[in-house]
A and B are shown apart, each in its own frame.
Chain A
């Protein structure tokens, strides 16, 4: 099936006198992992919020396919296929992992209003099936009946990702998905992201872990001071003098 591309066109976001995001253009095509890097205060997080709909841009537009979604709230964007995960995993802590995923499946379309008085509402067996398949494919089946609040971070990341996938995204926005994961877990997670992208999903990844971004991404945008200073495949961006100067100062990009 054809999936939509996420594009940002001339995005601007100002806070008082500060321009946090300054005329940013970017695109996240289907099947590719797009990375977003930059030092603290570069505007990554603001850009991310503009993409997810937590904040609205002062200028410019966010496009999903041909549709301008700049003014839509996050839940509406999600139903259109733009799904995000959070820096701190956002699982519904009092539910089981399975129910968490069910929420993802069930709200893909706006169809929950039907069952107010329990009339004619049958559990949709295909929903259950989607969830079970998803759990199995991410190796989460054993955790299905655990209450989410009782799981460690690694499992939560995975479960949140599974929940996002259950919402059947065209575009998956991941906010620092590797924070709190150890090396082995990070590696697994990268492999998972590749699998998701290969299925035709566009992934946008914001992370402090520059090495992760350079390893896993197909294209990288580097931001400094609200502007995109470099864009291209990881090798190109890594070689960019501005990126070098910013990150060499922090010593986190080994050549």
Chain B
């Protein structure tokens, strides 16, 4: 039962998807970048186009020419030059490139949201006249016809360029091995730039063609564009004809589905299918096709996103410092309790969001997997807990709010387990796309179903018969955050933590000594989904009702980017990120936080490891300088000496190069305490500078013991670290020893 009319109607969407797919493929083939920002660029170009036609009154053709011939390719060139060329130059990992493209996506969405707001605009004029050609059931919209023509032109053009021209050969050489191509004097940068310009131009077309149909909104339109990834996944990121045919086929199939209708329980599900076939196909393709597992290399192993580039060595002193930081953090988090009512309510969002970010820390920072579907799990946690509270959850009795929050979050676990099972078998971009597709599917089939998610309100919470006021609710949230931190703590310490870090550091090596990599990843994934669910439940309680916009798929990408920016393996970073985003949204217009995260994400090129590592680096730098003031630098040994062979150079047995305790005679006229200071220092093989000696002397007897370990723990230029290691003052980072 194929209806010609429906097929032609479906072609309209299918053709745009195909066009989008061509753009994605060209960028990927020429640069090796799976451009997640495609949707963002499409949206931005569409907004500018609308601005020119509607607000400035430019004629449609002029606006179209400016948008498509100048703006879109210009954006591509700019991105290549400023973002992706530097990454390619320093051979950045696929994970970094992925984050960069996410950064561009978030930045472009932030710009749209910042300038034009988050609302949907339905007044974007179509480029092509709204007319049909042909007759009867065989009539076709000019719009569609033109898109098809454009596809044909693009395909023929690309085919000719690739196979018949010198440039095409250059492209293939660059794709094969960029460095090698450059050595053969092929202008790789130019090839890459042309690829970007071509890709973004088609992205622009996609946006402008889709905006009149779907309405123009930052998150909505970019999501539609992102679902066209189904097309290039079907094409295995290589075949242009397959991509085009898949796009057209899904478009037609989606349209043909509308002629049937299903009644009963699945009526809504079926109706959703007729408008969301692309998402479903994307998910199914990713789940079913075994060959896609290794799609696009190893981008999903996010070990490189770790904020701890230089391994740290915890010492007693540092442990105390951590306690102080934790104490300060608790005080800061408790501060909103003294805010006014309105401000306190705004602060509700911080712990909830922090929990969602913590879930990403678990799955990305500790387990090393990219997860772009966290909003799905958070939303499910929210929905489950509210349904439980209202007694509407099938099979479970009505329960009090606090219990419902907890149970609702735990109910996400089976879903995390089921979706995590196939996902963790994938790596690289396939994993990123799979998690995204899971999140998007959940949104479409659950959150956007009016029966399930409209009119779901949070009821007041009671504890032992007392209705919780705002302050009490904030404390409940803090308890929730504490639970999340406890989960994080346990996943980071002891046997489990070591095994997780092992998997992140060297997966094969971990497997080689018996670490059950798959189950460990699955465990992390499941725990992460529960933590996200808890965050979601608290989020919906702080706003009072379930709102699907809070958990839409694009949020996942934004949140993931934010977590990476603030240090993917830093729990503190996650909390700071939440506070940062909430406060920006409070003090600045909506969308500003998206913009800020986007800018920060692109600055990751200069701050590998995120803000957390930048701050750590700064602290280390300052401490190092301070240490140099206290302790004589050892000029001869620029780096900590490491025994090249076990047993040959025992640090303790190492001659202290003429600095035996006797040689460090205390300067005249200082107190007896000083000798003690020097003795402590000498025992660690250090020599105090006159400044250090006098300062420590002035601080009195108690200070040296507290101050020295901190200084000595620094990987300073004075050989301090090996010595502390040798004398056994080190307490190691994983807390393996009492």
**CB neighbors of B among A124-145 (8 A):** 128, 138-143, 145
A180 to nearest B CB, angstroms? 12
B646 to nearest A CB, angstroms? 4
The reply on B398 being an interface residue by CB < 8 A is: no
Evaluate contact between B516 and A167: CB separation under 8 angstroms.
Answer: no
Evaluate contact between B644 and A154: CB separation under 8 angstroms.
Answer: yes
The reply on A177 being an interface residue by CB < 8 A is: no
Contact of A92 among B312, B486, B495, B509 (CB under 8 A): B509
Given A84-B512, A112-B496, A138-B646, residue A95 in contact with residue B501 (CB < 8 A): yes
B484 to nearest A CB, angstroms? 12
A residues near B499, Cβ cutoff 8 Å:
103, 106-107, 112
Evaluate contact between A115 and B523: CB separation under 8 angstroms.
Answer: no
Evaluate contact between A147 and B311: CB separation under 8 angstroms.
Answer: yes
Evaluate contact between B510 and A103: CB separation under 8 angstroms.
Answer: yes
A residues near B517, Cβ cutoff 8 Å:
75
Evaluate contact between B511 and A73: CB separation under 8 angstroms.
Answer: yes
Q: How many Å lie between the Cα of A54 and that of B509 in the bound state?
A: 11
Evaluate contact between B734 and A95: CB separation under 8 angstroms.
Answer: yes
Q: How many Å lie between the Cα of A240 and that of B640 in the bound state?
A: 50
Evaluate contact between A155 and B496: CB separation under 8 angstroms.
Answer: no
Evaluate contact between A167 and B514: CB separation under 8 angstroms.
Answer: yes
Q: How many residues of A contact B (CB 8 A)?
A: 60
The 8 A CB mask of A94-129 against B (1 = contact, 0 = none) is 111011101110111010110111100101000010
B residues near A78, Cβ cutoff 8 Å:
511-514
Contact of A113 among B523, B643, B726, B734 (CB under 8 A): B523
Evaluate contact between A164 and B513: CB separation under 8 angstroms.
Answer: yes
B residues near A86, Cβ cutoff 8 Å:
508-509, 512
Evaluate contact between B496 and A75: CB separation under 8 angstroms.
Answer: no
The reply on B607 being an interface residue by CB < 8 A is: no
The reply on B733 being an interface residue by CB < 8 A is: yes
A residues near B489, Cβ cutoff 8 Å:
118
The 8 A CB mask of B686-710 against A (1 = contact, 0 = none) is 0000000000000000000000000
Evaluate contact between B644 and A155: CB separation under 8 angstroms.
Answer: yes
Evaluate contact between B516 and A75: CB separation under 8 angstroms.
Answer: yes
Evaluate contact between B646 and A158: CB separation under 8 angstroms.
Answer: yes
The reply on B476 being an interface residue by CB < 8 A is: no
The 8 A CB mask of B494-533 against A (1 = contact, 0 = none) is 1110110110011011111111111110010001000000
A residues near B644, Cβ cutoff 8 Å:
152, 154-155
Given A92-B506, A96-B732, A123-B494, residue A142 in contact with residue B650 (CB < 8 A): yes
Given A75-B515, A102-B736, residue A139 in contact with residue B496 (CB < 8 A): no
Contact of B498 among A84, A103, A154 (CB under 8 A): A103
B residues near A154, Cβ cutoff 8 Å:
644-645
Evaluate contact between B736 and A123: CB separation under 8 angstroms.
Answer: yes
**CB neighbors of A among B283-330 (8 A):** 306, 308, 311-313
A residues near B496, Cβ cutoff 8 Å:
112-113, 115-116
A residues near B313, Cβ cutoff 8 Å:
96, 145, 147
Q: How many Å lie between the Cα of A118 and that of B511 in the bound state?
A: 24
The reply on A85 being an interface residue by CB < 8 A is: yes
Q: Considering only CB atoms, which chain A residue lies closest to B734 in the complex?
A: A99
Given A75-B517, A93-B506, A99-B734, residue A139 in contact with residue B646 (CB < 8 A): yes
The reply on A83 being an interface residue by CB < 8 A is: yes
Evaluate contact between A142 and B513: CB separation under 8 angstroms.
Answer: no
B residues near A94, Cβ cutoff 8 Å:
306, 308, 311, 501, 505
Evaluate contact between A103 and B513: CB separation under 8 angstroms.
Answer: yes
The reply on B582 being an interface residue by CB < 8 A is: no
Q: Considering only CB atoms, which chain A residue lies closest to B652 in the complex?
A: A142
A219 to nearest B CB, angstroms? 24
**CB neighbors of B among A55-106 (8 A):** 73-76, 78-79, 83-86, 90-96, 98-100, 102-104, 106
The reply on B642 being an interface residue by CB < 8 A is: yes
Q: How many Å lie between the Cα of A145 and that of B729 in the bound state?
A: 10
The reply on A166 being an interface residue by CB < 8 A is: yes
Evaluate contact between A139 and B506: CB separation under 8 angstroms.
Answer: no
A85 to nearest B CB, angstroms? 7
The reply on B259 being an interface residue by CB < 8 A is: no
The 8 A CB mask of A20-40 against B (1 = contact, 0 = none) is 000000000000000000000
B529 to nearest A CB, angstroms? 14
Q: Considering only CB atoms, which chain B residue lies closest to A153 in the complex?
A: B644
The reply on A52 being an interface residue by CB < 8 A is: yes
The reply on B725 being an interface residue by CB < 8 A is: yes
The reply on A185 being an interface residue by CB < 8 A is: yes
B residues near A143, Cβ cutoff 8 Å:
643, 646
Evaluate contact between A96 and B733: CB separation under 8 angstroms.
Answer: yes
The reply on A238 being an interface residue by CB < 8 A is: no
Considering the complex of A and B, which 3 residue pairs feature the smallest CB-CB distances, nearest first? A90-B509, A78-B514, A92-B505
In the assembled complex, 24 residue pairs joining A and B whose CB atoms fall closer than 8 Å, in A order, are: A74-B512, A86-B509, A86-B512, A90-B508, A92-B502, A94-B311, A95-B734, A99-B498, A99-B736, A107-B513, A107-B515, A108-B514, A115-B495, A116-B490, A116-B523, A117-B486, A118-B493, A123-B738, A138-B646, A139-B647, A142-B647, A146-B642, A147-B312, A163-B513
15 extra interface residue pairs, beta carbon distance < 8 Å, beyond A75-B510, A118-B486, A167-B513: A75-B516, A75-B517, A96-B733, A96-B734, A103-B498, A103-B515, A106-B495, A106-B498, A115-B495, A116-B490, A117-B486, A118-B494, A145-B313, A147-B313, A149-B311
